[in-house]
A = this chain, B = another copy of it.
Amino acid sequence: MQYFRDGSSYFIRIDKDEDLFKSLESFAEAEELKCGHLSGIGALKDCELGFYHLHEKTYDRKMFKDEAELLSLDGNLSIFDGKPFFHIHTVLGGPDFSCFGGHLFSAKVAVTCEVNFRPLDIEMERQPNSDIGLNLLHFCNINPDT
């Protein structure tokens, strides 16, 4: 992994065989980042995807081992349990140009991964929500509720 900051944004290159989440987490820790938005392209492998069944409050999980084009990666950084937590959804592309995707639990970089990260000066924490069964975003500063 290599990354570079300009005033308002980071550019991150994660390299072949590196773990996507471990790389992003070590980036966030090194830069002391707590909140932000990210997007990226590249190619991934060993992707564990999830689909959340709200009524059962459980994720179906499935591993996709093959290399896939990373067509869309969108997500955010917040704090969960005192640590940086990346929430990422992704669309992947297969060799026949079909698409598949879901909530991304884990992945390795297959070729390269080019990520743009924009820090936000907001404190967001994930807190358990028993109705939903997931850890939802909570803004730690006072803010409008509508």
| Chain A interface residues toward B at CB < 8 A | 1-4, 6-9, 11, 13, 16, 26-27, 30, 35, 37, 39-43, 49, 51-54, 60, 62, 64, 67, 69-76, 87-91, 93-95, 97-103, 110-112, 114, 116, 118, 120-122, 124, 131-132, 134, 136-137, 139, 141, 143-146
Contact = CB atoms under 8 A, between A and B. Distances in A.
Nearest to A49: B97
What is the count of identical protomers in the complex? 3
Given A93-B102, A116-B118, 14 more contacts: A1-B145, A4-B122, A4-B139, A9-B37, A9-B118, A11-B76, A13-B139, A26-B146, A41-B74, A54-B110, A72-B91, A91-B93, A99-B100, A114-B137
Contacts of A51: 69, 93-95, 97
Given A71-B89, A99-B91, A141-B4, A52 B41 contact: no
A103 B41 CA distance: 9
A3 B143 contact: yes
24 contacts: A1-B145, A2-B144, A3-B143, A3-B144, A3-B146, A4-B139, A4-B143, A6-B120, A7-B121, A13-B139, A37-B39, A39-B39, A51-B93, A51-B95, A52-B67, A62-B97, A69-B102, A71-B74, A71-B89, A72-B91, A73-B74, A91-B93, A93-B100, A98-B100
A47 to B, nearest CB: 10
